[in-house]
């Protein structure tokens, strides 16, 4: 290995370390707010930098939402299986959870809006 | 009207016989080697999706240093196309990812070999990083345009640093052996 090689290696490692720090921050890179929709209508836009609890009314009752440390979760929602409650914390852009019985969708919008999540063959 | 380089009296010919030149044969020979490694490597299961040793790039790096950027680009391109045909991924997303990676790596190699004092390991490392970055950009922009995808990028780059260095060392040791070997492929026969 020449000196230039070692310099390239050091630069590459420093760059990768910087990327780790930038992209692996707790709370995600750009999760700034979450939207809550009830029956496809946005009823709430929650600032994730402010901790607190919120409640929205759906057709079956109240869905409770908690914000803490830049993350958001559903703490209670009517419905037998409570999938959105068990989903836990959402902290990254693009993350979403759905309380289907109560027609509530909690989502952190991504930076790009696309029709497809992914393509595979 | 005579075309430059053609004898005015020569009769117009509708066909031309292509004779492979020595350099063509060399490209084919080296590409075959890279294709064999490419296909053999496809069998190895990977611990993380998207991480591969990239051993076929050893051939490209060695070729770059022995025969120049042109031959290396040919070997890289043929490796991807023939490898895709053999593995049945030709024109599939996997193939396009492979092509993008190899293209980015070849372009980087062509530029990087002008850096004064750069060695085989440095070349291999830069090529490996370019390969992963190119593939990642294509995957992110086209296949999986999810805003969280960059989270995996540092992991892929870490793997790229490791494989780039290891492959570079293998390439360097190969070049040393070739230099001390009497059967030098550059030697005129």
**Of A96, A58, A52, A95, the residue nearest A79 (C-alpha):** A58
Tell me which residue in A4, A16, A118 faces B158 most closely, judged by beta carbons.
Answer: A16
Cβ <8 Å between A24 and B168: no
Query: And the tokens for A112?
Result: 């790009």
CA distance linking residue B185 with residue B36, whole number of Å:
19
CB–CB of B150 and A94 under 8 A?
no
Contact B145 A94 (CB under 8 A): no
pLDDT the model gives residue B94: 87
Taking CA atoms, B23 is separated from A18, A27, B61, B70, B153, in Å, by 44, 56, 17, 11, 38
B173 reaches A (C-beta below 8 A):
no
Q: State the helix-helix crossing angle for B153-180 and B56-67, rounded to 10 degrees.
A: 50
Determine the Cα–Cα distance for residues A112 and B136; give it in Å rounded to an integer. Answer: 16
Element (H, E) at B87: helix B69-87
Chain B CB contacts of A92 below 8 Å:
147-148, 151
* Cβ contacts of A3 on chain B, cutoff 8 Å: 117
Q: Chain B interface, mutation test: which of A1, A6, A117, most B Cβ atoms within 10 Å? A: A1
Q: What value does the mean pLDDT take over residues A5-30?
A: 83
Domain boundaries, chain B: 23-180
pLDDT in the model for residue B2: 47
C-alpha closest to that of A37 among A86, A91, A108:
A108
Say what percent of chain A tops pLDDT 90. 53
Whole-number Å distance between alpha carbons of B51 and B119: 24
Q: What is the DSSP letter of A90?
A: B
Between A and B, how many CB-CB pairs are < 8 A? 87
CATH 3.40.50.970 holds for B23-180 = no
What DSSP character marks residue A48?
Answer: T
Residue A93 structure tokens: 């852009």
Strands (E), A1-121: 33-38, 41-47, 52-57, 62-68, 71-76, 96-99, 104-107
Strand pairing report for A104-107 and A33-38? antiparallel
Q: What is the ipTM metric for this complex?
A: 0.78
Burial class (CB in 10 A: 0-12, 13-18, 19+), B130: buried
Q: Does B153 touch chain A (CB under 8 A)?
A: yes
* A46 beta partners: A34
* Separation CA A66–CA B120 (nearest Å): 54
B151–A24 CB contact, under 8 Å: yes
Torsion over CA: B142, B98, B71, B14 (sign): negative
Residues 6+ apart with CB under 8 A from B69: B106, B109, B110, B113
CATH topology for A33-107 is mini-chromosome maintenance (MCM) complex, domain 2 (2.60.320)
Q: What pLDDT sits at residue B186?
A: 57
Residues B55 and B10 sit within 8 Å (Cβ to Cβ): no
Asked if B80 contacts B102 with a C-beta cutoff of 8 angstroms, the reply is yes
- Residue A33 DSSP symbol: E
Nearest to A23 among B142, B153, B168 (CB): B153
SS3 content of chain A, % helix, strand, coil (to 5): 20, 35, 45
Q: What is the pLDDT of residue B22?
A: 87
pLDDT in tens, A18-61: 999 888 876 444 557 889 999 989 999 998 888 999 999 999 99
Contact assessment for residue B109 and residue B72, using Cβ atoms and an 8 Å cutoff: yes
Asked if A114 is an interface residue toward chain B (Cβ–Cβ < 8 A), one would say yes
State the average pLDDT for chain A: 86
Report pTM: 0.69
Q: Which tokens hold the place of B107?
A: 């372009």
What pLDDT shows up at residue B189?
Answer: 45
What is d(CA A27, CA B4) in angstroms, rounded to the nearest whole number? 67
Residues composing chain B: 189
pLDDT beneath 70, residues of chain B: 1-12, 181-189
Residues of chain A contacting residue B147, judged by C-beta atoms under 8 Å apart: 30, 92-94, 110-112
Query: Which residue does chain A place closest to B156, by CA atoms?
Result: A16
Helix (H, G, I), strand (E, B) or coil at B109: helix
- Most A CBs within 10 A among B147, B159, B164, B170, hence the mutation to make, goes to B147
The owner of tokens 């590459």 is A12
């Amino acid at each position: 290995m020449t000196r230039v090689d070692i310099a390239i290696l050091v630069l590459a490692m420093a760059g990768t370390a910087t990327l780790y720090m930038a992209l692996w921050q707790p709370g995600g890179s750009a999760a700034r707010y979450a939207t809550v929709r009830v029956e496809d209508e946005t009823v709430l836009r929650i600032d994730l930098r402010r901790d607190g609890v919120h409640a929205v009314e759906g057709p079956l009752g109240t869905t409770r939402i908690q914000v803490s440390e830049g993350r958001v979760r559903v703490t209670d929602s009517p419905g037998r299986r409570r999938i959105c409650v068990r989903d836990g914390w959402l902290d990254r852009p693009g993350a979403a959870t759905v309380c289907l019985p109560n027609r509530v969708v909690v989502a952190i919008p991504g930076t790009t809006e696309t029709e497809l999540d992914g393509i595979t063959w | 009207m005579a075309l430059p380089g053609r004898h005015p009296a020569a009769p117009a010919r509708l066909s031309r016989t292509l004779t492979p030149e020595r350099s063509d044969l060399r490209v084919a020979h080296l590409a075959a080697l890279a294709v064999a490694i490419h296909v053999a490597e496809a069998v190895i299961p990977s611990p993380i999706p998207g991480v591969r040793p990239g051993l076929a790039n050893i051939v490209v790096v060695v070729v770059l240093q022995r025969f120049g950027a042109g031959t290396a680009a040919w070997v890289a391109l043929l490796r991807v196309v023939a490898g895709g045909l053999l593995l049945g991924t030709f024109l599939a997303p996997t193939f396009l990812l492979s092509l993008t990676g190899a293209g980015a790596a070849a372009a980087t190699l062509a530029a990087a070999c002008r850096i004064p004092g750069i060695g085989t390991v440095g070349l291999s490392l830069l090529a490996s990083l370019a390969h992963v970055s190119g593939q990642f950009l294509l995957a992110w922009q086209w296949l999986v345009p999810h805003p969280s995808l960059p989270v995996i990028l540092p992991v892929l780059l870490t793997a790229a640093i490791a494989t780039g260095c290891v492959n570079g060392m293998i390439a360097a040791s190969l070049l040393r052996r070739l230099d001390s070997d009497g059967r030098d492929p550059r030697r005129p026969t």
